[in-house]
Structure 1
Amino acid sequence: MSAALQPVLYSYDPEREAVWVDATPFRAHVAQLLATGLTVPVIAQLAGVRERSVQHLAHGREGRRVHRICRDTGRRLLRITTLEARAVRFRPVPVRLSRERLRTMVGAGWSVDQLADQTGLGIDEVARIVGRGSATCSQLCALKIAVGYQRWIAQQEAGPGCPAVA
């Protein structure tokens, strides 16, 4: 068969070959990140992947271990080293965006106690960030606030009202 008569496969994309990879090393990596004190939502936020993907790697899916994951998800998770995971707790970042997010939630009727529960931070830390107390907070605080804020936005999109206040 000559080259001119061969069909052209437009759907073939060499970049998409082997999209799925073995999950074993990534499962171990997530376990190491969890051992440093990060939570599943914070790891997902830091890596830029879905929380459910990290949850499945950490705890399995319906009691069964995950055997394969998307190559891109694995690549994103490996960008977070254990050294980075430890540094996140102490690295100062500007507080402005975190403060705006918390103040938006306060404006919607959330109390400082509810914000602390939603974000996993202490009441004093939330009060300090909401107030004008400092120009920075730890990157871990900022990540936890981002996770809490995104969950609140998702709840808002799912239905009206503030479940924490109701």
Structure 2
Amino acid sequence: MSRPHGYARYRLDGCRCYVCGWAVAQYNDAREHAMRRGTWQPWTDATPVRAHLERLADCGMGLRRIAALAGVDRKRLQAVLHGRPERGTGPQEKVRPALAAAVLAVEPTLENLSPSTLISPHGTRRRVHALVAVGWPQHHLAIHLGMTPSNFTQMLARDHVLVRRALAARAMYDALWRADPAEHGASTGGIARARRYAAVHAWPPPGAWDDDRIDDPEAHPDWTGQCGTPEGFWAHRYIKVPACQPCRDAFNADRRARKATTSNLLTTQEGTVR
């Protein structure tokens, strides 16, 4: 497959047509102007690019996928990572700024990952649990995802979930979290059972999750609007939901601080009396 006419074809294939000649003339003119202004930077350090490629690889992105998203040749990325063994060279130390910008712009979002990549199930599981908490029976959610109830249950129990399943669950959550299950065929009894089941298992509703952190394994739901504070502990009592770990930790820390203050006060008073 031949290259399109332009600078690369002029330099690499020796084409001397009008289009290729014009591209070279434009490039040379831009370079001379940049050199006179002192802004000519034909190369940049490859280290950040290499580190970013390694980070993307750790997230499950293959070099072919990264190259396609960045719009660059895969062999150019291989040269940055491993060099060119056939030429006896090590990893590139310099790259073109355009290539660096293109690669650094690629992020390991769900949309960019391969559909068959295995990822953390936390976001998928939390979204399903939140929908059950507002009354969506699990078999309705399984049907929405095109799954059998048994496969749906197994998916939620696994340590990883496929990207395509995570994307489908996210789309389902966005479509249903404000919808009324009764208007989509769920029975009154089914809705009540779903809510009871979620309450027994302490599954937070959608309002307890921040959309920006629902996929973060380290995130905690905010049941009360005050979770993580001593006030949040008592707010849990008010809404009759067991206190979450951040609220228990905050309550215990506050109680220890109060005891320490009281102890210090008593010690001071005893010293004064003596």
Q: Shorter-chain TM-score category? A: 0.3 to 0.5
Structure-2-length-normalised TM-score: 0.27
Structure-1-length-normalised TM-score: 0.43
Larger Rg: 2
